Amino acid sequence: MVNDIDTTKQTRADEVRAFIARTPLAQEMGLRCEVMGDEMTMIMPYQEKLIGNFMIKAIHGGAIAAFLELTSQAQVFLVTEHLERPPRPINLTIDYLRQGHAKDLYARAEITKMGRRMCSVRAEAWQDERAKPVTTLMAHFMVSGD
Amino acid sequence: MSDDAASSPAPWEVMNENIDMISGGIPWGRRMAFRFTRIEKGHVWGLQPWKERLVGDPDTGVIHGGVLTAFLDNLCGTAASSALPKPRFVATLDLRLDYMRPADKGRDIIGEAECYHVTRNICFTRAWAYHESRDKVIATAAGAFAINKPRSVDSMRTM
């Protein structure tokens, strides 16, 4: 039994990696994910093209938002077994807390409430210190499968 | 209108004259291939073409919601700057996106943003993304922007 569960988790982690690998925007942004059981960290390695303001070399807020949205989608997909595909977003709110500097970004998402039709997710992106998030996101996704 | 405005063009006029330069000065915007098409005082229009590399769902070919977020974020920020009497940078404080319907595969997306209120420190904006008209909207956005104090580029580097 334990083995069965482990196999399922393994398969879903592979599906999440496949989602990142076959989604053009995720590839364009250079994303990769590290899955550890039901936990996942998404990484966006720094690239010059991600810059939003060349005068201050800050990463584009929209790129960080897309990064957090993809992270949230992947996390919901990872832990929601009945989903056949990553969930569609209903809406999201992004809080820009600090400037995203010209270096790698990391993100994690957490499901605050899983409902039958929708779920509520929070995610945050950071660089040097997890306790000092660059950007946070709050979003709702459809999980009803249609 | 202040005396300043009478003697020199308003920021939105300068922005509209240099509209291609503004579009080209954003590396991620350039990569996403969006551009501003018209700038008026507190009102900005733009175009986000469909591109294979921006697709979020390879099965349907629909571009990812995150592309619209970046597009509308930039449009709102530009609408905020264009509403101000003096040239100032603005920084996104927060942005809310509502996804109403998926965009069609292969079609350009039109974006429109307006700055509807300005206080001493903050610009309040809203935006729409659609194919044909605001009646059939793909996504809407609402964002608040902090108006940066004028400062040198050097001081911005040490932030």
For B146, residues 6+ apart whose C-beta sits below 8 A from its C-beta are B90, B91, B93, B121, B122
Altogether, the residues listed in chain A come to a count of 146
Distance from CA of B20 to the nearest CA of A (A): 15
Q: What are the φ and ψ backbone dihedral angles of A101, each rounded to 5 degrees?
A: -80, 170
Question: CA-CA distances (angstroms) from residue A128 to A40, A98, A99, A137, B3?
Answer: 18, 12, 12, 18, 47
CATH number, domain containing residue B104: 3.10.129.10
A interface test, pick of B81, B97, B105, B145 with most A CB neighbours within 10 Å:
B97
In B10-32, which positions are buried (b, 16+ CB within 10 angstroms) versus exposed (e)? bbbeebbeebeebbeebbbbebb
pLDDT at B156 over 80: no
Are B84 and B39 within 8 A, CB to CB? no
pLDDT for B107 equals 96
Lookup: tokens for B94: 């927060």
Q: Out of A35-49, B6-20, B78-92, B137-151, pick the least confident.
A: B6-20
Write out pLDDT tens, residues A33-71: 999 999 999 999 999 999 988 788 899 999 999 999 999
Higher pLDDT, A6 or B59: B59
Residues β-bridged to residue A123: A109, A137
Write out pLDDT tens, residues B82-120: 999 998 989 999 999 999 999 999 999 999 999 999 999
For A62, residues 6+ apart whose C-beta sits below 8 A from its C-beta are A52, B28, B66, B69, B70, B71, B73, B74
Q: What is the H or E stretch that residue A96 is in?
A: strand A88-96
CATH number, domain containing residue A113: 3.10.129.10
Domain holding A37, by residue range, is: 2-142
Distance from CA of B46 to the nearest CA of A (A): 15
pLDDT at A145 over 50: yes
Write out pLDDT tens, residues B46-57: 999 999 999 999
Q: What is the ipTM of this complex?
A: 0.88
- How many domains does chain A divide into? 1
Q: Is B138 on the interface with A (CB under 8 A)?
A: no
- How many domains does chain B divide into? 1
Q: Do A95 and B94 touch (CB under 8 A)?
A: yes
C-alpha torsion sign, points A114, A115, A118, A120: negative
Domain holding B40, by residue range, is: 3-157
Altogether, the residues listed in chain B come to a count of 159
